[in-house]
Amino acid sequence: MTTIRKTNSLLHSFEVYFSQFERSLNGESQTGWHKLRKKAFQRLVENGFPDRKHEEYRYTPITQRIEKALQVFPEFDLQKSGDKQPDISAYLPQGMKANVLVFVNGIYHAHLSKCIPDDKLHVEELTDAIGDPEVEKYLEESVSHTDSFALLNTAFSTNGIVLKVSRNQIIQNPIYIIHITDGSSNNGVIQPRILTLFDKNSQATVAEVFFSEGDKTIITNAFTEIRVGENATVRYIRAGLENNQALRVSNISVYQEESSTFTSINVDMDGKLIRNNLNIIQNGRGCETHMYGFYLLTDNMHIDNHTVVDHKYPDSQSNELYKGIMANKSTGVFNGKIYVRQDAQRTNAFQQNSNILLSNDATINTKPQLEIWADDVKCSHGCTTGQIDQEQIFYMRSRGLDEVQAKTILLHAFALDILNHINIEELRSMLDLKVIEKLNNI
């Protein structure tokens, strides 16, 4: 076991961790893939982990929280999930028919996963996909990522998956990815990695849902890359349903080709500290992007949503709406950026962040941003923060409802603006019930 040092402690610990990781690889340490890992780790060493002086992490002390959680840094264990065989049915929305892919402590488990043959979905473990020029190209590109936690994931990438949808294919049933972290025995760090490739004219819905068990802290550092081909339509849903020990950093990188449509819905209602980075690049004319987010924070929860949309070509549009409810001593952060490049004429871009504070001790730091270099555009952004409308509460109480019922109905309607964009009915119902349950207990 390696004890963390006070100065530059986290980076030093990961240097020791990376050395252990390399020894576990045996002959693979000489491959081209591992050379990419080493390049990513070297960039991480050069950049370091962000602290409060880092503008992008100014309100989110993720490095300090990880250091505190890992006072004794674990030995690297490639098979960290051990022999645990969870009951997958406990994590599935009731009645849902889906292609189910399962990760346990960051490791993909094919024997727990099940795809519907009629959907013609191709899923391959990352270790088996190495050698595919397309996969290797995208892995190499990820080495140039600017976020330290994305580089960390690339440096330790092993047990991920490559998910492919072929040209002109429509995946009828949703792709439901379950992440289970088990902190019942030891603290640890896991690095789930997913590369999704949607070819020209394809269509699919993907949902990633995070669960956790046990009273130990597992740091989840997830990286999902989504390549949306020409004229493809992809809907991506991510939900966090972890326990109050969870620390998670999620990096989602999206690349859209000409005339493609991408929709993101992000919902977080649990966890100790969550950081979501959603970066979308429109690489072609006529792209359409929609981003929706909802966060419901209680106790001392902290959730930070950072989004970026980069409009590079003409005749594109983006629409973003994030909404939050904060109670007790919770803290929310929203930082949304929209870039409109000089060539991206006739771009329409809208961004809005709305928040309700239920406590004088709750905090929201919100910063919507627009940077525009083109002149023929329609763009707007804004944010609102306030308390629940007492006149509406009074009106509903005059109709026979008590205060808790009135407050729950109003806040639930606020949340439904986001939840109603989830096109998997069973998942939407599961999350909806969770929202109502939490609102009733605030």
Residues in Cβ contact with 437 at an 8 Å cutoff, skipping those fewer than 6 apart:
none
| Alpha carbon of residue 393 to chain centroid | 34
Rounded to an integer, what distance in angstroms lies between the CA atom of residue 404 and that of residue 406? 6
Residue 3's pLDDT band (boundaries 50, 70, 90)? very low
In a domain, 406, yes or no: yes
In a domain, 164, yes or no: no
pTM: 0.94
Count how many domains the chain has. 1
Q: Once rounded to an integer, what is the mean pLDDT over residues 115-132?
A: 92
In a domain, 13, yes or no: no
In a domain, 401, yes or no: yes
Residues in Cβ contact with 431 at an 8 Å cutoff, skipping those fewer than 6 apart:
239, 267, 269, 419, 422
In a domain, 402, yes or no: yes
In a domain, 422, yes or no: yes
| pLDDT, tens digit (0-9, with 9 covering 90-100), for 324-377 | 999 999 999 999 999 999 999 999 999 999 999 999 999 999 999 999 999 999
Ramachandran class of 85: left when φ > 0, alpha when ψ lies in -120 to 50, beta otherwise: beta
The mean pLDDT value of the chain amounts to 91
Residue 410's pLDDT band (boundaries 50, 70, 90)? very high
In a domain, 245, yes or no: no
In a domain, 416, yes or no: yes
Tokens representing 54 are 């880092």
What domain range includes position 393?
389-442
Please count the other Cβ atoms lying within 10 Å of the Cβ belonging to residue 12: 15
Residues in Cβ contact with 235 at an 8 Å cutoff, skipping those fewer than 6 apart:
204, 205, 206, 262, 263, 265, 423
Q: 197: closest CA among 129, 250, 150, 148?
A: 129
Tokens representing 306 are 């950072």
Rounded to an integer, what distance in angstroms lies between the CA atom of residue 41 and that of residue 152? 6
Rounded to an integer, what distance in angstroms lies between the CA atom of residue 273 and that of residue 61? 9
pLDDT value for 84: 63
